[in-house]
Amino acid sequence: MKKCIRVLSVLFFIFLIGNQLDYLKAADSLFNERREMVETQIKERGIQDKAALEAMLSVPRHKFVPPAHRAYAYADRPLPIGHGQTISQPYIVALMTSLLNLDSKSVVLEVGTGSGYQAAILSGICKEVYTVEIIPPLGKNAAALLKEYDNVTVEIGDGYYGWKEYAPFDGIMVTAAATYIPPPLIKQLKPGGKMIIPIGGVFQVQRLMLITKKQDGTLVSENIIPVRFVPLTRAD
Ligand code: SAH
């Protein structure tokens, strides 16, 4: 009887280790995909910002991609997230993040939470992240995924108006294309702060613009690259 129990315990132990190894192997292969993504899609295209690269390596992008598209989570392209919206291509996420020049003291506003992935990336770099989503089911889903990211707060609403309560912001990132820069966002940007925003209509080539608010309040704008984003919509 004793022998039988011993054999059973050994078998159980082997079973446990086996399961653990499968789990580790799966986690490891996703980590490898992520490392490949960072090396070939991001570093090779010239992004050097250490904090952005580290965040891209550590955040599990596949968790923010709907199950139907999860196999392509680390592919070099945007993916559908439902409601006609998309999670941006990894390179664009890294580029926009690095251009804001953020650090561990930064308070940031994101307009267009979508999947929540960009907010998770910002979470690893900044002190506080405030993110606004206009489509309620997307906002709710992202809020659930972002629960474990303690410094991220999600709000459902029209991000055109920014988030006055937590302004001014060191950085503002708009992840939907606007035809002009929303004035409330300019107002809520700290002197010395930066805003990254795609400007242009849906059927036009949009320009990714980097806006810097100088200490005296004047704005400097730089045209970064042509991009294609879903439009910034307005609450009726
Ligand atoms: N940053 C997202 C990408 C989202 S795509 C991610 O990491 O997945 C752009 C998002 O902006 C969409 O979810 C869209 O619903 C949202 N959006 C569009 N207009 C908006 C507005 N006025 N205020 C807030 N969110 C808006």
Kindly report, residue by residue over 53-109, the tens digit of the pLDDT.
999 999 999 999 999 999 999 999 999 999 999 999 999 999 999 999 999 999 999
Asked whether 231 and 202 are in contact (CB, 8 A), the reply is yes
Predicted pLDDT of residue 28: 73
Structure tokens at 212: 């810097």
Strand pairing partners for 96? none
Residue carrying structure tokens 């929303």 = 182
Strand pairing partners for 219? 213
Residue 175 Cβ < 6 Å to ligand 1: yes
- What's the distance, CA 44 to chain centroid? 20
Ligand 1 nearest atom to the CA of residue 132, by list position: 24
AA identity, residue 170: D
Alpha-carbon distances, residue 151 vs 51, 130, 172, 174 (angstroms): 16, 8, 16, 19
Residue 198 Cβ < 6 Å to ligand 1: no
Backbone angles phi, psi at 177, to 5 degrees: -80, 130
Residue 230 Cβ < 6 Å to ligand 1: yes
Residue 134 Cβ < 6 Å to ligand 1: yes
Predicted pLDDT of residue 98: 98
- Domains of the chain (ranges, CATH numbers): 43-227 (3.40.50.150)
| Atom 17, ligand 1: residue with shortest CA distance | 112
Strand pairing partners for 171? 108, 194
| Ranges under pLDDT 50 in the chain | none
| Atom 16, ligand 1: residue with shortest CA distance | 112
Ligand 1 nearest atom to the CA of residue 142, by list position: 8
Residue 97 Cβ < 6 Å to ligand 1: no
- Ligand 1 center from residue 76 Cα (angstroms): 20
| DSSP annotation of 60 | -
Predicted pLDDT of residue 235: 78
Residues 6+ apart with CB under 8 A from 129: 108, 110, 119, 122, 123, 149, 151, 152, 153
Strand pairing partners for 197? 209
d(CA 126, CA 118): 12
d(CA 103, CA 92): 19
Active site residues: 88
Ligand 1 nearest atom to the CA of residue 114, by list position: 13
| CB-CB neighbours of 89 under 10 Å | 17
Residue 212 Cβ < 6 Å to ligand 1: no
- Ligand 1 center from residue 166 Cα (angstroms): 19
